[in-house]
C-alpha cells in the first residue's frame, strides 16, 4: 500500500472507492428494462393516459395488494399523498392527534397538518431511530387518533408493542413503509400488521415510477374513502354530473397510466431487489466488524430490514472523531452518503418551531397544541442523529463495490483512531 493509499482523500490521498457506484439517479442503480419499455408503449398506444378510463393503475392496485397480502391498495401521486390518504381515510376531527417520530421525511406529517390535526412527537429507540413504544404510550392523550410508525431506512419498528398500544387505546396504527418494501417483522411483511400501510414509488425507493405512492389496507371503509379522497371525492361509478357528486372535501392525487405501467413492471422485482440489498448489507457489516468506534445498522430481534439506507453508527469517544467529521472523510473517499442524515429532528423546522403554517395564524398549533417544539423535546432522537451516517444503498452493488466501501470505512476509522494503516 502506497502513502497516497494510506492518506485520507480529504487531505490529498487517493480515494478508497475507485469505481463509479450504482446510484438511484442513474440507470446503473435502477432495474428498468424491456418490461417497463413494453408496458409504457402499450399505455401510449392505448390512447388513454388517465387512470379514469385506463387499465394500468387499476392493475397496479390489484397486483400490489395481492403481492403484499392485503385486501385493498389505492395508488396515488406520491408517498406523501399515500400518507394523506391514510389520514383522510379516518375522517379525523380538527385537533385530533397523530403520534409521529421526529426522524422521518416531512411527508409523514404534512398530511396531518393539512387535515387540521396535530403531529405529536414521540422519541425513538437510539439504536434503530424508530419509535420508542414506551414514549408513544406516554404521549397518548384524549384526542389521539392514530400512531404513524415509520420503518426508517428499512428497519421495522417494534410492531408488536405498537400494535398492542393501539389496541389498548382503541386507536389506529398506520405503517409508513416508504423506505421498507418487503421488510419483515417476526415472519410477517411490514404493511400487513397495522391498520393501514403507505408506500412510496419515488425515484430513490426500492421500486419506482419516478413519483407515486400506494396506500394498502384490509379495511373496506378506509379503502373506499381513500379512493374517493384521491379523486376529488367523485364516485366515478355515478353518471351524475351535478355539483352534488363531490361528496366531501378531498384532493386530486391521481396517478397517471404512464406511471402505473412502469410500476406494474417493477412489482415482480421487489423480492430480488430487497434480498440483494440485504446480502450486500450483511457483507459490509461483517467486513467492518472490527473497525474501532463504528458499527453497522442495529436490527431488532425477529426483523429483516429492507435496507433503503445503510445506517453507519459512530461512537465519537471510541472513534476519536464525531460522526460529521467521520462522514465528511467518508464522502471524500467516494462513499455516497448523507452525513448525519437529517441533522436535526423535524420539530426544529420553522413549520413547528415558528408555527409557519396558514398565514400568521399558527393554526392548528395555537388552537390545540400541547408540545413545545424546541431542542430537548426528543433527546434520544437528537443524540442518535448526532452519531449516524446514512450511506446510500443499492441492490446493484457487487462484491467489489462492497469491498471498496468497506475499505473506505476502515481507512477513515484507522486514521481517526490513530491506528496504523493496513499493509
- Judge if 18 and 54 occupy the same domain: no
DSSP class of residue 286 equals: H
C-alpha cell at 361: 395564524
> For residue 315, is it within any domain?
yes
Separation of alpha carbons 235 and 250, rounded Å? 12
| E strand or H helix at 184 | strand 184-185
Cα–Cα separations (whole angstroms), residue 111 to 17, 286, 300: 40, 40, 29
- Judge if 71 and 200 occupy the same domain: yes
- Share in percent of the chain as helix, strand, coil (round to 5): 40, 15, 45
Cross-strand partners of 224: none
pLDDT at 1: 56
pLDDT at 275: 98
- Judge if 291 and 249 occupy the same domain: no
CATH assignment of the domain containing 72:
3.40.640.10
pLDDT at 243: 81
CB count in 10 Å sphere of residue 248: 11
- Judge if 281 and 187 occupy the same domain: no
> For residue 375, is it within any domain?
no
> For residue 226, is it within any domain?
yes
> For residue 388, is it within any domain?
yes
> For residue 353, is it within any domain?
no
C-alpha cell at 51: 387512470
pLDDT at 340: 81
C-alpha cell at 133: 413504544
CB count in 10 Å sphere of residue 177: 30
- Judge if 181 and 111 occupy the same domain: yes
Separation of alpha carbons 367 and 362, rounded Å? 8
Q: Would you give the distance in Å from CA 4 to the centre of its chain?
A: 38
- Judge if 134 and 185 occupy the same domain: yes
Question: Is residue 269 classed exposed, middle or buried when 0-12, 13-18 and 19+ CB atoms within 10 A define those classes?
Answer: middle
All residue ranges of the chain with pLDDT < 50 are 423
- Judge if 82 and 106 occupy the same domain: yes
Contact 216, 70 (CB under 8 A): yes
29-53 confidence digits (pLDDT tens) = 999 999 999 999 999 999 999 999 9
- Judge if 25 and 78 occupy the same domain: no
The helix/strand count (H/E) of the chain reads as: 16, 14
Which of 269, 291, 312 terminates a domain? The answer is 269
Cα–Cα separations (whole angstroms), residue 19 to 10, 279, 398, 399, 404: 18, 20, 11, 12, 8
Phi, psi of 99 (to 5 degrees): -75, 125
Separation of alpha carbons 111 and 249, rounded Å? 14
pLDDT at 185: 98
Domains in the chain: how many in total? 2
Question: Is residue 60 classed exposed, middle or buried when 0-12, 13-18 and 19+ CB atoms within 10 A define those classes?
Answer: buried
Phi, psi of 144 (to 5 degrees): -65, 125
| E strand or H helix at 46 | helix 34-46
Q: Would you give the distance in Å from CA 87 to the centre of its chain?
A: 17
Separation of alpha carbons 343 and 23, rounded Å? 22
> For residue 357, is it within any domain?
no
Cross-strand partners of 22: none
184-185 sheet: strands from edge to edge? 188-189, 184-185, 303-304
393-402 confidence digits (pLDDT tens) = 999 999 999 9
- Judge if 105 and 206 occupy the same domain: yes
Contact 334, 404 (CB under 8 A): yes
49-107 confidence digits (pLDDT tens) = 999 999 999 999 999 999 999 999 999 999 999 999 999 999 999 999 999 999 999 99
Phi, psi of 304 (to 5 degrees): -130, 105
pLDDT at 51: 96
Which residue's entry shows cell 457487487? 398
- Judge if 203 and 285 occupy the same domain: no
Range of the domain at 226: 34-269
Which of 221, 236, 269 terminates a domain? The answer is 269
**CA-wise closest residue to 336 among 417, 286, 285, 404:** 404
**pTM of the predicted model, to two decimals?**
0.96
> For residue 39, is it within any domain?
yes
C-alpha cell at 48: 388513454
Cα–Cα separations (whole angstroms), residue 163 to 182, 203, 218, 324, 335: 19, 30, 15, 35, 37
- Judge if 315 and 252 occupy the same domain: no
- Judge if 246 and 298 occupy the same domain: no
> For residue 359, is it within any domain?
no
CATH assignment of the domain containing 294:
3.90.1150.10
pLDDT at 423: 46
pLDDT at 421: 58
Which of 237, 269, 301 terminates a domain? The answer is 269
Amino acid at each position: 500500500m502506497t502513502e497516497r493509499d494510506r492518506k485520507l482523500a480529504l487531505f490529498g490521498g487517493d480515494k478508497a472507492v475507485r469505481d463509479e457506484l450504482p446510484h438511484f439517479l442513474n440507470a446503473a442503480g435502477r432495474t428498468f428494462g424491456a418490461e417497463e419499455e413494453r408496458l409504457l408503449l402499450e399505455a401510449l398506444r392505448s390512447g388513454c393516459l388517465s387512470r379514469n378510463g385506463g387499465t394500468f393503475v387499476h392493475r397496479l392496485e390489484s397486483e400490489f395488494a395481492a403481492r403484499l397480502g392485503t385486501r385493498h391498495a389505492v395508488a396515488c401521486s406520491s408517498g406523501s399523498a399515500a400518507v394523506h390518504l391514510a389520514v383522510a381515510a379516518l375522517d379525523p376531527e380538527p385537533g385530533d392527534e397523530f403520534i409521529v417520530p421526529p426522524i422521518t421525511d416531512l411527508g409523514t406529517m404534512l398530511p396531518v397538518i393539512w387535515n387540521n390535526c396535530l403531529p405529536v412527537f414521540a422519541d425513538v429507540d437510539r439504536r434503530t431511530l424508530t419509535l420508542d413504544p414506551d414514549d408513544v404510550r406516554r404521549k397518548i392523550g384524549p384526542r389521539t387518533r392514530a400512531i404513524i410508525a415509520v420503518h426508517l431506512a428499512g428497519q421495522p419498528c417494534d410492531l408488536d408493542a405498537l400494535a398492542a398500544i393501539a389496541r389498548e387505546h382503541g386507536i389506529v396504527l398506520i405503517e409508513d413503509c416508504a423506505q421498507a418494501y418487503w421488510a419483515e417483522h417476526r415472519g410477517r411483511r411490514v404493511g400487513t400488521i397495522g391498520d393501514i400501510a403507505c408506500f412510496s414509488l419515488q425515484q430513490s425507493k426500492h421500486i419506482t415510477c419516478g413519483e407515486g405512492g400506494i396506500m394498502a389496507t384490509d379495511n373496506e371503509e378506509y379503502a373506499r374513502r381513500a379512493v374517493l379522497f384521491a379523486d376529488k371525492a367523485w364516485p366515478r361509478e355515478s353518471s351524475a354530473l351535478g355539483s352534488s357528486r363531490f361528496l366531501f372535501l378531498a384532493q386530486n392525487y391521481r396517478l397517471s397510466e404512464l406511471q402505473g405501467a412502469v410500476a406494474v413492471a417493477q412489482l415482480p422485482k421487489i423480492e430480488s431487489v430487497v434480498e440483494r440489498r440485504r446480502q450486500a448489507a450483511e457483507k459490509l457489516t461483517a467486513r467492518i466488524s472490527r473497525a474501532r468506534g463504528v458499527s453497522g445498522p442495529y436490527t431488532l430481534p425477529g426483523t429483516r430490514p429492507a435496507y433503503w439506507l445503510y445506517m453507519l453508527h459512530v461512537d465519537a469517544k471510541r472513534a476519536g472523531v464525531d460522526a460529521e467529521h467521520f462522514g465528511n472523510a467518508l464522502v471524500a473517499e467516494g462513499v455516497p452518503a448523507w452525513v448525519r442524515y437529517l441533522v436535526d429532528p423535524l420539530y426544529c423546522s420553522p413549520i413547528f418551531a415558528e408555527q409557519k403554517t396558514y398565514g400568521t395564524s399558527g393554526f392548528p398549533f395555537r388552537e390545540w397544541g400541547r408540545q413545545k417544539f424546541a431542542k430537548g423535546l426528543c433527546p434520544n432522537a437528537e443524540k442518535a442523529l448526532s452519531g449516524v451516517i446514512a450511506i446510500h444503498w443499492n441492490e446493484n452493488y457487487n462484491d467489489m463495490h462492497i469491498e471498496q466501501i468497506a475499505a473506505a470505512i476502515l481507512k477513515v476509522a484507522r486514521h481517526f483512531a490513530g491506528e496504523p494503516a493496513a499493509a
